[in-house]
Amino acid sequence: MLFSFNMLERIKKILPEEIELKNSNIVDIFIFFKYLEDDEIVKKAFGVVEITKQVQENVSKLKKTMFLNKSNFKAIKYNNKTIGFIQLAFESNDTIRLGIVIGDKKLWNQNIGTISMKKIIKLIFEEYKYVTQIILDTAIFNVPAKRCFEKAGFKIYNQDNQKFYLKITKEDYLKNISDYL
């Protein structure tokens, strides 16, 4: 089978040193707003199959949160260019909830999600000493997201007919710390 240049590009895996997580600035926030104008991204990010009025309201709320709490959004940088974000939400004293979007679809399935998740896991467990677990959830239909989270060390702890609920504990992280260096 002949591979076109484009196909070769798509199978290229990106290396951890090519990805950095940085604090978001106002320019990043407007880049994130753009991602949220894409229906496919919104459906996957919110785990829904259609864009209802409620979903639109949730997108507006998220944009407002981004604007007001920039520090809870890390910009994912690939060769210094902002290509996505990770949201940190403080669920309780010892638990952080994450969300992730890679806004440039051409970069999906090249390991960036996994690398970014590993970097944020390390950052959280190293910097927030009181945090003992990180949680997230994903729609059952979002196969790449589930695969990405499992590659980063998250484990399913619950499931209903719409979502998988995953977590990684500090204990899991410390047991496999060499995967996060």
Binding site for ligand COA (CB under 6 A): 41, 44-45, 100-102, 108-114, 138, 142-145, 147-148, 151
- Provide the minimum distance between the beta carbon of 43 and ligand COA in the complex, in angstroms, as a whole number: 8
Q: Are 176 and 149 in contact (CB under 8 A)?
A: no
Residue 14 CB-half CA count within 13 A: 20
Taking the complex as a whole, the smallest distance from the CB of residue 148 to ligand COA amounts, in Å, to: 4
Task: Provide the β-strand partners of residue 82.
Answer: 77
Q: Which is nearer to ligand COA, 96 or 100 (CB)?
A: 100
How is residue 3 written in tokens? 């591979």
Q: Which residue is nearest to ligand COA (CB)?
A: 113
Instruction: Give the chain's length.
Output: 181
CB of 108 to ligand COA, least distance (A): 4
Based on CB atoms, which residue is closest to ligand COA, 62 or 100?
Answer: 100
Whole-number minimum distance, CB 57 to ligand COA, in Å? Answer: 18
Q: Based on CB atoms, which residue is closest to ligand COA, 159 or 171?
A: 159
User: Cα separation of 91 and 36, whole Å?
Assistant: 23
DSSP for 17-31 reads GGEEEEE--HHHHHH
